[in-house]
Amino acid sequence: MNEVAIIPLANLLLGFLPVILLIGIMKLWGLNALQPIYANFRMLIQLLLIGYVLTYIFETDQPIIILLVILFMILMSSWIALRPLQERGIKAFLVVVASLGLSGLAVLFLISQFIVELPRWFEPSFIIPIAGMIFANSMNTVSLAGERLFTEQERGKNY
């Protein structure tokens, strides 16, 4: 794996210039400036934590860890896909898990084994980002299709 890029603190602080500008504008307009400060602090902590987790995952040689991460992606994308829908029971969740899981894993297998031809099927630095893209796209598709189906059923269409 490539070496991690070290970003000097001064360069990192440059990324906060737009935030400081936004907070200044909010103060000028008399708005609550504590909310964006809190949101940015929370974002920074979350990104640091996910950075450490991803560093561990990308350096692992254990296929079980990669499988657990993919399972977590399937479960979370299924749960998020159901949020805008009216029907959210366990049956709907299991249908979405099966749908996202089977289709996403098939696409992931096709890409990793036949298109890119990875030396190890569980190459973390490739599998995790590609799986994230596949399951995020599938999640959006299932959510939009489900929402459309329920809307059409409410209008009296029978499918």
Q: Which residues have CB under 8 Å from 68's CB, separation 6+?
A: none
**Bigger pLDDT: 69 or 12?**
69
Confidence category of residue 121, pLDDT binned at 50, 70, 90: confident
Residue 56, helix vs strand vs coil:
helix
**Bigger pLDDT: 107 or 149?**
107
Q: Is the pLDDT of residue 1 over 70?
A: no
pTM of the model: 0.75
Q: Is the pLDDT of residue 28 over 80?
A: yes
Predicted confidence at residue 148, as pLDDT, reads 86
Ramachandran bin of 81, using left for φ above 0, alpha for ψ from -120 to 50, beta for the remaining angles: alpha
- Token duo for residue 11: 């360069």
Domain boundaries, the chain: 1-59, 61-159
Q: Is the pLDDT of residue 131 over 90?
A: yes
Q: Which residues have CB under 8 Å from 38's CB, separation 6+?
A: none
- 33 class by beta-carbon count within 10 Å (0-12 exposed, 13-18 middle, 19+ buried): middle
User: pLDDT digit string (tens) for 4-21?
Assistant: 678 888 888 898 899 899
Confidence category of residue 2, pLDDT binned at 50, 70, 90: low
| CB neighbourhood size of 101 (10 A) | 19
**Distance from C-alpha of 91 to C-alpha of 141, rounded to nearest angstrom:** 19
